[in-house]
Amino acid sequence: MGKRAVPDPSGKKPDAGRARKQIADRADRISYYESLLQKLQSIVSGDAAASETLFAAREIADALGAYYGSDDWKQDFAADEAGMLPHDLRRGVLSEDGIYNALEAYGEWIREPSCKGEVKMRKVLFINGSPNENGCTAAAMDEMIRELNENGVETELLWLGKKAVPDCMACYQCISAGKCVFNDEVNAIGGRMDEFDGIVVGSPVYYGGPNGRLTSFLDRLFFSVPGDRFEGKLAASIVSCRRGGASAAFERLNQYFLMSNMHVVGSQYWNQIHGSSAEEAKQDAEGLQTMRTLAKNMAWLLKAMEAGEQAGLERPALEEKTLTNFIR
């Protein structure tokens, strides 16, 4: 048998206070999304202040899209229809046309090249040196790529394949030619460095170091591309191994970045994942989390760089490089 209701001495319905609070919470939520809607409309219509960025627009559109697809929106809409909301509440976000049209307008705006004119789209290049296209290194990179994309950063993946990559033969021709004598993917991607704001390189661990394919590629890339093309970009290396040698391989790969005026991004642990197959690597919860954290940190730094540029912060003018020869 159910409990008998106890009469309320105040004479009020027992849940009247709770209902009032629910309406107040609802009104706060609607006001919040209403302010986001107005901000998005001002960015899309070109009225936004210069500090409004592509990232801000993406974040707002994502938040509004999630609200529009949620039960919260349906319940807020129903409350409005039932006349339960305060009269003075602005609620364009609750009108089907209001939110739908704003998101449509955002979709059109983001596809226009002009929206990216003032605000450069940030892009990170991933270079996977593993011969296994869908192996452990790829699983780690996928985790980062997903996180970066969710944070509004574009990505491009270059898998080096299974074929041997020519090694640097120290001919020094690239110093004058600006490109390598072996005309392969090194020159193709080297000529596109200006497109990227960050680079992530990944390798399986072979005998406690990165694999030869990747180091051959990177030796030639970093030697043949003029050094200033790497300056100021973000960089990270990630390694995968069954059991040991990860930190030695990780340190080895970071050497490319640390003498190229790049900014090496850290995570909650050294960037490593463990396994002999992608299935195993995907069970390494800590390794995956390390990748997501790395990507989050990278996305945040890219946004910080964006904000700095918008505010007129310039990169330091570097001195002409001095080479000290220890023999003379």
Binding footprint of ligand FMN on the chain (CB under 6 A)? 130, 132, 135-137, 204-208, 240-245, 275-276
Nearer to ligand FMN, 56 or 278 (CB): 278
Nearest to 296 by CA among 210, 231, 233, 234: 234
Q: How far is the CB of 269 from ligand FMN (least distance, A)?
A: 16
Nearer to ligand FMN, 75 or 134 (CB): 134
Nearer to ligand FMN, 206 or 223 (CB): 206
Residues 158, 192: Cα–Cα separation, whole Å: 12
Contact 304, 310 (CB under 8 A): no
Q: For residue 123, which phi and psi values (nearest 5 degrees)? A: -140, 135
Nearer to ligand FMN, 132 or 289 (CB): 132
Q: How far is the CB of 128 from ligand FMN (least distance, A)?
A: 7
Nearer to ligand FMN, 152 or 275 (CB): 275
279: part of which helix (H) or strand (E)?
helix 278-281
Number of residues that make up the chain: 328
Residues 48, 32: Cα–Cα separation, whole Å: 18
Q: How far is CA 268 from CA 160, 247, 287, in A?
A: 28, 14, 10
Nearer to ligand FMN, 107 or 244 (CB): 244
Structure tokens at 193: 């460095």
Tell me how crowded residue 141 is: count the other CB atoms within 10 A of its CB: 25
Residues 5, 96: Cα–Cα separation, whole Å: 41
Q: How far is the CB of 207 from ligand FMN (least distance, A)?
A: 5
Q: How far is the CB of 240 from ligand FMN (least distance, A)?
A: 4
Residues 215, 204: Cα–Cα separation, whole Å: 11
Nearer to ligand FMN, 128 or 267 (CB): 128
Q: How far is the CB of 257 from ligand FMN (least distance, A)?
A: 21
Q: How far is the CB of 126 from ligand FMN (least distance, A)?
A: 13
Nearer to ligand FMN, 146 or 179 (CB): 146
Comparing every residue's Cβ against ligand FMN, the nearest one is: 135
Q: How far is CA 38 from CA 9, 34, 54, 76, in A?
A: 46, 6, 16, 18
Q: How far is the CB of 47 from ligand FMN (least distance, A)?
A: 48
Local structure of 256: helix, strand or coil: helix
Residues 183, 190: Cα–Cα separation, whole Å: 11
Q: For residue 236, which phi and psi values (nearest 5 degrees)? A: -155, 150
Q: How far is the CB of 211 from ligand FMN (least distance, A)?
A: 8
